[in-house]
Amino acid sequence: MFQSIMNLSCFSNMLIGLLHNFSVLMPNSKTKIAWNILLFLLLLANFFMIPLKVSFSNFSTGSGRLNELTYVSSVFFLLDMLLNFNSAYFSKGLIITERKKIIHCYVKKNLLFDLITLLAYIFTFFSAY
């Protein structure tokens, strides 16, 4: 257990070093809201396109738009993971902007889910070829 805490601390220190040139993104900023809307629209498009691909094998043979959507989604989900390491969050009514707390919170709460989602999209993309 102590070793995993030390690894997390080392990981967060490395990320803090990489992100020190960027300001922390506030959760209620226009940039973050626009980014979240864009991600929602991508998820919505995937919500309809993936069942079509699974249900109809010849659906994806047309113009390759589904493969493009999968690629774009994978890139955006990867960028979203990186952005979440630098995004402030609310805790008990307060905005937390300390990078170490942001990284620890993201790793504890959302990183595993985001990694699984990203890996699923990457697997889907490479299985299409």
Tens-digit pLDDT profile for the chain (129 aa)? 434 444 666 766 666 666 666 788 999 999 999 999 999 999 898 888 777 777 776 655 445 666 777 788 888 988 999 899 889 999 999 999 998 899 899 999 999 998 998 888 777 666 655
Predicted TM-score of the model (pTM) = 0.73
Q: What's the confidence (pLDDT) of residue 72?
A: 85
Q: What's the confidence (pLDDT) of residue 60?
A: 52
Q: Is 120 left (phi over 0), alpha (psi -120 to 50) or beta?
A: alpha
90 forms beta bridges with 95
- Please state the φ and ψ torsions of residue 34, each to the nearest 5 degrees: -65, -40
Tell me if residue 2 falls in helix, strand or coil. Answer: helix
Alpha-carbon distances, residue 37 vs 13, 34, 41, 87, 111 (angstroms): 30, 5, 6, 16, 20
